[in-house]
Amino acid sequence: MGNDAHQETNPARREKGEPVFVAKREHKLLRIGAAAHELGLHPITVRRWIKAGRIQAVPMGREVRVPRAEVERLVGKIDGRLLVLYGRVSGHGQRADLDIQIERLQAWARTERKGVETLVLSDIGSGLSAGRRHFQRLLKLVCEDKVGEIAITYEDRLTRFGQEYLETLFACFDVTLTVLEPGEEKTPEQELTGDLLALIASFSGRLYGMRSHKQQALVACAKQVLAEQEE
């Protein structure tokens, strides 16, 4: 007789009356870094998603762990749908930077999203403009439920204002937004300050030109006033 641990466990092949051994599945918990690696995300992005409720986590003392089932769920979201790599720069003089963005996104996709159908979209225009041609195409694809994941290099590539509206739209269609280089977490005051400066820069640029002396002076003045309020 062999060891009991090697007894036949298939109900279709065991003899009547023999015991059935059922192995309990271990619910493995992953550290933030390990979960981020398997998802192809930055650990900061994973922590933000946990905080926002997009990833379920298990408290473990002062830390948290991500169940493997959560990782499998997130990876499974993009099955059968497009991975969109999106890049943007403000002006034609930054075309070289746009090429660098796309190259980084494609290199990441080849490593972290093998076998996923990929679409590359890019725009040259202000992050405050909602009329960018390929940005509009991206939103249309999302609304048609053809996009599983969107990858960008920096947080402001999709928009410089109203990011929360996009996140709500993406959540409705179960779209994952991946930022390769997420910035440090900001307070609500810092976020509002950044939005205000972006608006001033955009509208003053329309009045005087994005590189004009008046535009730069106006933005510098606004920064000084905001800095004085923080002191």
Q: Let me know if 178 is exposed, middle or buried by CB neighbors in 10 A (0-12, 13-18, 19+).
A: buried
Tell me the CB-side half-sphere exposure of residue 116, using CA atoms within 13 A.
Answer: 27
Can you say how many angstroms the Cα of residue 22 is from the centroid of all Cα atoms in its chain? 39
Spatial contact of 128 and 199, defined as CB atoms under 8 Å apart = yes
Q: Which residues pair with 178 in a beta bridge?
A: 151
In the DSSP assignment, the letter for residue 179 is: E
For residues 148-175, b (16+ Cβ closer than 10 Å) or e, as one string?
bbbbbbebbbbbbbeeeebeeebeeeeb
Residue 159 CB contacts under 8 Å (≥ 6 apart), including other chains: 127, 128, 130, 166
What's at 50, amino acid-wise?
A: I
Per the annotation, the verdict on 90 as an active-site residue is yes
| DSSP track, 23-35 | PPPP--EE-HHHH
Query: Active-site residue numbers?
Result: 90
